[in-house]
Each structure stands twice: as structure tokens, then as C-alpha cells.
């Protein structure tokens, strides 16, 4: 494990257990061609698993330049440059990527989970979170007591439908005035 500081934020890199990641992807029913976005991708091992073993595409966002270099080297060595991309940057600036994701993978602290939660709640996607759950969300599954899987597709769709119904009701009320 290594600890660094970027933009006054303590950054800790700790590898995910590859077997647990595989189980998480299986539970999430990751399919070929789906997009996995990893927030803080470290050495890209999880995205490589998604690409090689599940046929998924992956985009990792990593703030540490040393990890970016390691990730790019690992992607090249694994031969998945056509499926996996690494972006050197802050994942708090990556809402446009999150919006396109089918699955978001994260291994973040509880405090950072709370920071990214508002972005994740906007989109109908699946989320895998290693070690730490998201407060207020009910996991669809808990894998080996260590990984939380959330399928938010129906929940977001229900919320969007409710908003449309409320908007239509408001419009009808305004028309009748």
C-alpha cells in the first residue's frame, strides 16, 4: 500500500483482490461491450479483468501519475489497449464518463463515497464498491461480506418516471388556471 497527497487529499492505493473483483463482475452480470468506469483505477488490474475475461470496455480515472504509468504498462502487457483507456485526472471531474457507464467500480473511503454519491445517483447504472457501502443505499447483493453491489437502474428509472408524472400534473394544473 502506498500513501500520497494530491490537491490536499490523502490518496491511498491498495490493490483489490482479483478473485473478489471477478465475483463482483459475475454478480453484476457484466456483459461484453459494456462500459466499466473505475474511479481511482490504480494499476488497472480490475479493468484488465473486465476486458480480458468479460469482454467489457473500460475507462479508469487515476490522479497519481506513477499509477497512470503503471496502468498503461499493464494494459499494454495484457494486450487490451483497444478496450481499456486510462485518464490522468480527478474522478470528481468525470461526471460525463459516469453518465456513459454501465458499471462503476470503486474502492474508496466512506468519505469519498459520499462525495461521489450525488453523481452516481443521477444515472441508471450498476455500482460495485469494495469494502465500503454507500450510506442510504440498499445493496442488491453483498459479495463475500466485502463488496457491495448496487443495481440502480430501476430505482433511477422510477424516480425519472415520478418526476415526469409530477411535471405533467403541474402542467395540467397550470393549464386549468
Q: What is the pLDDT of residue 16?
A: 86
Residue appearing with cell numbers 498503461 = 72
Q: What is the pLDDT of residues 79-112, one digit of tens each?
A: 999 999 999 999 999 999 999 999 999 999 999 9
pTM above 0.85, yes or no: no
Mean pLDDT for the stretch of residues 146-165: 70
List of long-range contacts for 30-35, beta carbons under 8 Å, 24+ apart: 30/54, 30/56, 30/102, 30/103, 31/55, 31/56, 32/56, 33/57, 34/102, 34/103, 35/59, 35/100, 35/101, 35/102, 35/103
User: Is the CB of residue 42 less than 8 Å from the CB of residue 48?
Assistant: no
| Extended beta strands in the chain, E state | 2-6, 9-13, 35-39, 57-62, 84-88, 103-106, 126-130, 141-143, 147-151
- β-bridge mates for residue 57, sequence order: 35
Phi, psi of 44 (to 5 degrees): 75, 10
Q: Under 8 Å CB-to-CB from 22, ≥6 apart: which residues?
A: 49, 53
Phi, psi of 143 (to 5 degrees): -100, 120
**How many whole angstroms separate alpha carbon 105 and alpha carbon 116?**
12
Q: What is the pLDDT of residues 117-135, one digit of tens each?
A: 999 999 999 999 999 999 9
pLDDT over 80 at 170, yes or no: no
In this structure, the number of other CB atoms found within 10 A of the CB of residue 149 comes to 20
Q: What is the pLDDT of residue 154?
A: 80
Mean pLDDT for the stretch of residues 7-34: 85
Amino acid at each position: 500500500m502506498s500513501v500520497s497527497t494530491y490537491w490536499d487529499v490523502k490518496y491511498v492505493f491498495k490493490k483489490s483482490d482479483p478473485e473478489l473483483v471477478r465475483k463482483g463482475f459475475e454478480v453484476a452480470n457484466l456483459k461484453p461491450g459494456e462500459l466499466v468506469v473505475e474511479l481511482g483505477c490504480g494499476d488497472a488490474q480490475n479493468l484488465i479483468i473486465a476486458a480480458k475475461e468479460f469482454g467489457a470496455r473500460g475507462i479508469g480515472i487515476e490522479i497519481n501519475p506513477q499509477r497512470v504509468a503503471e496502468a498503461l504498462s499493464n494494459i499494454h502487457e495484457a494486450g487490451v489497449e483497444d478496450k481499456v483507456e486510462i485518464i490522468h485526472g480527478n474522478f470528481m471531474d468525470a461526471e460525463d464518463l459516469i453518465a456513459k457507464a454501465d458499471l462503476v467500480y470503486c474502492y474508496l473511503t466512506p468519505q469519498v463515497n459520499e462525495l461521489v454519491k450525488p453523481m452516481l445517483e443521477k444515472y441508471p447504472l450498476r455500482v460495485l464498491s469494495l469494502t465500503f457501502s454507500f450510506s442510504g443505499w440498499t445493496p442488491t447483493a453483498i459479495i463475500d461480506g466485502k463488496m457491495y453491489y448496487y443495481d440502480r437502474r430501476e430505482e433511477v428509472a422510477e424516480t425519472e418516471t415520478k418526476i415526469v408524472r409530477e411535471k405533467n400534473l403541474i402542467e395540467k394544473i397550470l393549464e386549468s388556471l
